Amino acid sequence: MQMPLQLTFRRLEHSDALAEVVRRRAERLEHLFDRIISCHVVVELAGHHHHHGDHYRVAINLGLPGRELLVSHTPAAETTETVHATVDGAFDEAARQLEDWAKRRREHRHDEIHRAR
């Protein structure tokens, strides 16, 4: 992985297994766009409900050339989603947004080249 990855756990214990999942998912983002400058992931225990268990929130901040991409994933309060599923949901959304941004960037550069001719 070329980009620096920063991982923060809030209100829950550090987990080497979860850190490895985050690292692998961040590497997949680099395959979509290889010029990611930075990646900061926050995994947070958002709350605990007596009947529904723990609720997690995952935020991803990607530093891109000339832009930051911010993704936050919090499952609905009435659903039970594991911390791993919440991480996957956040990275899935980050991948969609990164693909859209990279596509718009390529199209914009393509249009600029045609206008320059």
Q: Where are the domains of the chain?
A: 5-116
Whole-Å CA distances, 100 to 32, 56, 58, 66: 10, 26, 20, 15
Residue 116 binned pLDDT confidence (cut-offs 50, 70, 90): low
Distances (CA, A) of 38 to 52, 60, 114, 117: 34, 10, 31, 35
Q: Which residue has the higher pLDDT, 56 or 107?
A: 56
Which of 41, 52, 36, 46 lies closest to 18 in space, CA to CA?
41
Give tens-digit pLDDT for 11-60: 999 999 999 999 999 999 999 999 999 999 999 998 876 666 788 999 99
The CATH number assigned to the domain with range 5-116 reads 3.30.160.100
pLDDT at 81: 85
Pick 113 or 45 by higher pLDDT: 45
Helices marked H in 3-82: 16-32
The SS3 of residue 84 is: helix
